[in-house]
């Protein structure tokens, strides 16, 4: 059982990532969900995490509030994509679960101490502010982190919030820089791979026809989420970004990539948050990231569907 912490800013695609992880209870032990401001402000992302835990029937997974703003920048959000709540498309509510008193940063540090021998994997689905703060406050946590698997960046595909930058990195580039320079094993799932996992109609129909409430609500979330990217890219389906992090942990064999150096641009306003990927090894910079750029589409959606349908609710 791989022990993971999911750091997230839900977001419809974050919701599907959480549901995929919860449905993989035989492979993944979710120690907790830590929330960060990103797609919407922190007050909403933390409530959204509670909603998805309840929808999935995972009442015992603790949820923690983390950073309300980037390290040095004003918060930029993405309501134009996710709607004003971050989970537009459904009417989910919170009935039983509550936010933990402990902060997300303290929780991650505590887990790094408690599971030093087993080690933990951090699944980062949003801006990397929480993770950067953990690394700054307690650099020794690197000894306890097996891997940071993150959704962020783009090289071949460019950016999705500016021509040069992907949203998660753009929101807090200083945090991303700290994480990539930490020396921890890092796997990055950028737009170059997530834009290959476009939702198709048959996938949504299988969710709807399952008869399970959680799967039906997931389909509603994706119906709303897709409309923006389908219009933007002219595609038949929107890219399902964040579940790639979880699916990679469940079956890395369906992904391919390269160990390369990735640097984060923090100075230029024109290219702020750009992930500068030395794909062809034209510099002498040391490789620091396993950069994924391809996935087996059918296998990806089969895993997501199976895990979501594996939920008991």
* Residues classed as catalytic: 241
Phi, psi of 210 (to 5 degrees): -70, -25
DSSP state of 36: -
Q: Give the residue carrying structure tokens 């080690």.
A: 119
Q: Give the rounded distance of the alpha carbon of 272 from its chain centre.
A: 20
Q: Distance (Å, rounded) from C-alpha 178 to C-alpha 138?
A: 13
H helix or E strand, kind and range, residue 203: helix 201-208
Q: Give the residue carrying structure tokens 């920048």.
A: 73
H helix or E strand, kind and range, residue 257: strand 255-260
Cβ-contact 173, 127 below 8 angstroms: no
Cα 92 to Cα 214, 216, 258, 287, 305: the distances in Å are 10, 12, 40, 43, 21
Q: How many beta carbons lie within 10 A of that of residue 95, not counting itself? A: 9
Nearest to 289 by CA among 137, 177, 203, 170: 177
């Amino acid at each position: 059982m791989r022990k993971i912490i999911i750091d997230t800013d839900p977001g419809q695609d974050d919701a599907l990532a959480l549901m995929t992880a919860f449905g993989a209870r035989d492979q993944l032990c979710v120690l907790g969900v830590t929330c960060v401001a990103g797609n919407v402000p922190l007050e909403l992302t933390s409530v959204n995490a509670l909603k998805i835990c309840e929808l999935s029937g995972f009442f015992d997974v603790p949820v923690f509030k983390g950073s309300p703003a980037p390290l040095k920048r004003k918060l930029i959000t993405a309501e134009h994509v996710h709607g004003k709540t971050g989970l537009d498309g459904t009417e989910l509510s919170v009935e039983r679960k509550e936010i933990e008193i402990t902060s997300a940063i303290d929780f991650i540090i505590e887990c790094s101490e408690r599971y030093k021998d087993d080690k933990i994997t951090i699944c980062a689905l949003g801006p990397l502010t929480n993770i950067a703060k953990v690394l700054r406050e307690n650099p020794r946590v690197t000894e306890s982190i097996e891997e940071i698997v993150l959704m962020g960046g783009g090289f071949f595909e460019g950016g999705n919030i500016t021509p040069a930058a992907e949203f998660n990195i753009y929101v807090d580039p200083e945090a991303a820089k700290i994480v990539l320079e930490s020396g921890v094993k890092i796997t990055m799932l950028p737009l170059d791979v997530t834009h290959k996992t476009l939702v198709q109609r048959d996938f949504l129909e299988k969710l709807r026809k399952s008869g399970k409430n959680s799967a039906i609500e997931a389909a509603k979330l994706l119906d709303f989420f897709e409309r923006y990217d389908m219009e933007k890219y002219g595609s038949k389906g929107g890219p399902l970004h964040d579940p790639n992090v979880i699916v990679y942990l469940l079956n890395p064999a369906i992904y391919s990539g390269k160990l390369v150096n990735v640097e984060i641009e923090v100075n230029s306003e024109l290219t702020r948050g750009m992930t500068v990927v030395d794909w062809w090894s034209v510099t002498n910079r040391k490789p620091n990231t396993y950069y994924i750029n391809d996935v087996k589409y059918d296998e990806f959606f089969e895993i997501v569907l199976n895990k979501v349908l594996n939920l008991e609710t």
